[in-house]
Amino acid sequence: MHRPSFTASHLAAALIVAACMQPAAAFAAGAVSFDEVKRGFRSSDTAVLDRSGELLQRVRTDATVRRGQWIPLADVSPALRMAMVLSEDRRFYEHSGIDWRAVSSAAWANLWNTRTRGASTITMQLSGLLDEDLRRANSGRTFTQKIGQTVAATQLERNWRKDQILEAYLNIVPFRGEIVGIDALARTLFGKAPSGLDAREAAVAAALVRAPNAKPAQVAQRACEVMRAMEPGQKIDCDALDMFTSAAVQRRAFDANEGIAPHAARRVLKELAEAEATAKSAAPARQAGPRETAVRTTLRAPLQRFALDALQRHLKELRGRHVEDGALVVLDNASGEVLAWVGSSGPLSQAAEVDAVTALRQPGSTLKPLLYAQAIAERRLTAASLIDDSSAQINTASGLYIPQNYDRQFKGPVSARTALAASLNVPAVRTLVMVSPESFARQLRAAGLPLRENGDYYGYSLALGSAEVSLLSLTNAYRMLANGGRYGTTTLTARTAAPPPVSPTKAKAGDNASAAAPMLDPAAAFIVGDILSDANARTRTFGLDSILSTRFWTAVKTGTSKDMRDNWAVGWSQRYTVGVWVGNASGASMWDVSGTSGAAPVWAEVMRFLHAREPSRAPRPPAGLVEARVAFGPGADGNPLEAARGEWFLQGTEQPLFALDTGAGTPAANTAAARIIAPVDGTIIALDPDIPPLHQRVRFESEGRGVQWRIDGKHFARGNSAQWLPWPGRHVIELVEATGKVVDQRRIEVRGAGVVAKNARR
């Protein structure tokens, strides 16, 4: 058979003629620079960095493709570089973009229908990847595309170095499925960086370039050929390579999201997306820029790691008490920057995706400092005012509200300092009666707490944290107290040009907080901070050796919500505010977790870490404060109610003596004329048939000295309080002085069938 005389020189001439007929677009791939390609590369992930540029979290943000980071050629294993060149372009370092020997061989093979490896060089393939007009379709490239690809490859070789061509090729070549680039391939199929690929892994990677979506057996066969080329004369175990390849192509080791700050990463990416959407709506004609693949946050990576470890370690200790979730946030007092954001306990949780930093939960007693601050600012109380910690029955539209203390015990008359520091519930409710729920709710909203309802909806239980708030908003409200009553927003995204660091010794609360007038009286905020830093004032509940006490100045408050579903510890130092929550994302109750065994140990550990090398000094008192010596009158036992001490007052509210019957205290603290406090007039009491009658009692409370109780005209008891065993019917309760004069009375009704006879006989 006669073979046509078709030489490489003839082909070259044809290529040159055809190239002259190509449009300018055919040269786009060859005209682009290496630096432009590298700058235009976009990972399918976004790297979330800390304030110093350290990687915190990698988040997949492009679902259409799987790309890793751009890998410099020096960071690609020598085995992979060798495998790729031997597989795709043996004379890569010898030709100038076109392998004419391969072209000639391919041309003869096409004429005589003989299979060869093809004539496409790495440079030609790269030009096809860089220019969409030259990109290969499912049916293959057209003759025109091949000519354009050849011309573009020649230009690339003229403008780029060989190492740049190979580096770009390895970073943008498709491998298998959605995987593009050597970084994504190495991490997905082999679970390692490209620098660590061995000869076997490199052979599989090179085989996938030739047949990206081939069956594992075909990929293994091709990989075996590459291995033989890489290790000539060596015996290659292709059967073992077949098993290895089958396992590798099915592996997906490249997680979509990994790191130590998943919830903070999602939050900052959401904020950036919202900011971009706002900017686009404001200027719709504006062209969107390329998506950033690295975002810098305000977080500190060492602090984030420590906080996460401390929270997980403590929660492991609490697993026997039915606790599996927790969250933590650290704020910079002056700037509002978030320094640590731990949204969950991670693998310890069955709801690790839930961000407990922003989830709404009941804050328990952690709202009390804001309540007392408001009452002091409105001059309804001073830190020395006496408040009665005794059984209270408060009449509301929905019935009687009867608050209880955590330990189910009452302390009698106590100062506001003791009531807040020891977290007593009844005094807090009495304080809210003075302030009013609606006024307090407005104050909470102004402090950034997202109350869903008005104050009347929550009623007096708002003093004990019946509203739902987030850990972030609550911690920022405490930051407001640290900043002398000035409210400011928090930020998680690092500024483009960060402000110069503030020396801890020179920084003071509120240095660059909101410049607006304080939302809360700075003097009232100072007094509350002074109370929450007073270890002696909290001894009635927490004891002398409390986990809340630190070697440096801090102010802190714990809280536990109803049925022990949430436990909190929030407090601040000179420079930082730290908030910790523990509980269960499901809302299930914890078992035997107190204010000092739940969140407080984590709070204390993080505070110690923050101040290992930084001092924390007490704030300077603002203008409008007076420090005065106060004494307290005698209690029922004849001893002073509290020890004499120096106390802080808003100017004009100071006084030397606080007592029950001298008229020196505040209206809430002093004894008024004899009267019945509880029950209120018109109370209807329903007996519960499921509770034994002897266990159902009504508590009577009164003010005044030397009083007696009468029920339906008959003497019942003496003293300010009494327990009455109710029986059905309408009753008149009278409070009688020693002289026999009736000074107050209440009419009540007891309902409940089935216990009449038994009670009537008593």
Is residue 111's pLDDT more than 60? no
Look up tokens 């990972």; give the residue. 43
Q: What is the DSSP letter of 592?
A: S
- Read out DSSP for 630-643? EEE-B-TTSSBSS-
Is residue 118's pLDDT more than 80? no
What pLDDT shows up at residue 755? 42
Note the pLDDT tens digit of each residue in 687-721.
Answer: 766 667 776 788 888 887 788 999 998 989 888 88
Average pLDDT over every residue of 247-254 = 83
What pLDDT shows up at residue 249? 86
CA dihedral 78, 81, 85, 87 (to 10 degrees): 100
Neighbours of 458 (CB within 10 A): 22
Neighbours of 540 (CB within 10 A): 18
Is residue 367's pLDDT more than 70? yes
Q: What is the DSSP letter of 463?
A: G
* Number of residues in the chain: 762
CA dihedral 243, 245, 251, 255 (to 10 degrees): 140
Percentage of residues of the chain with pLDDT beyond 70: 81
Q: What is the DSSP letter of 622?
A: P
Average pLDDT over every residue of 722-737 = 89
Amino acid identity, residue 301?
A
Is residue 276's pLDDT more than 80? no
What pLDDT shows up at residue 285? 57
Cα atoms in the Cβ-side hemisphere of radius 13 Å centred on 354: 19
Q: What is the DSSP letter of 518?
A: P
Note the pLDDT tens digit of each residue in 195-238.
Answer: 999 999 999 999 998 878 889 899 999 999 999 999 888 888 89
666 CB burial (10 A radius; 0-12, 13-18, 19+): buried
Between residues 212 and 111, which one has the greater pLDDT? 212
H or E stretch at 331? strand 325-332
> 465 pLDDT band (50/70/90 cuts)?
very high
Is residue 97's pLDDT more than 60? yes
What pLDDT shows up at residue 89? 83
- Which of 106-110, 298-302, 471-475 is predicted with the least confidence, judged by mean pLDDT? 106-110
What distance in Å separates the CA atoms of residue 471 and residue 338, rounded to the nearest whole number?
12
Note the pLDDT tens digit of each residue in 392-444.
Answer: 665 555 555 566 665 556 788 999 999 999 999 999 999 999 999 999 999 99
Average pLDDT over every residue of 374-402 = 79
- Which of 169-173, 179-183, 272-276, 557-561 is predicted with the least confidence, judged by mean pLDDT? 272-276
Is residue 63's pLDDT more than 90? no
Average pLDDT over every residue of 660-672 = 44
Percentage of residues of the chain with pLDDT beyond 90: 49
Is residue 115's pLDDT more than 50? no
Is residue 114's pLDDT more than 80? no
> 74 pLDDT band (50/70/90 cuts)?
very high
Note the pLDDT tens digit of each residue in 610-648.
Answer: 999 999 999 999 999 999 999 999 987 788 999 999 999
Average pLDDT over every residue of 283-289 = 55
Could you give the 3-state DSSP secondary structure of residue 749? strand
What pLDDT shows up at residue 696? 77
> 726 pLDDT band (50/70/90 cuts)?
confident
CA-to-CA separations, 483 to 191, 522, 554, 620, 621, in angstroms, rounded:
48, 8, 13, 11, 12
Is residue 131's pLDDT more than 70? yes
What distance in Å separates the CA atoms of residue 256 and residue 240, rounded to the nearest whole number?
30
Average pLDDT over every residue of 658-671 = 51
Is residue 15's pLDDT more than 70? no
Compute the mean pLDDT over every residue in the chain, rounded to the nearest whole number.
Answer: 83
Q: What is the DSSP letter of 174?
A: B
- Are 683 and 395 in contact, with CB atoms under 8 Å apart? yes
What distance in Å separates the CA atoms of residue 657 and residue 655, rounded to the nearest whole number?
6
Neighbours of 35 (CB within 10 A): 9
> 389 pLDDT band (50/70/90 cuts)?
confident
Average pLDDT over every residue of 327-340 = 97
Q: Single out the residue of 299, 266, 292 nearest to residue 49, CA to CA.
A: 299
- Are 53 and 296 in contact, with CB atoms under 8 Å apart? yes
Helices (H) and strands (E) in the chain, counts: 24, 28
448 CB burial (10 A radius; 0-12, 13-18, 19+): buried
Is residue 113's pLDDT more than 70? no
Average pLDDT over every residue of 93-101 = 76
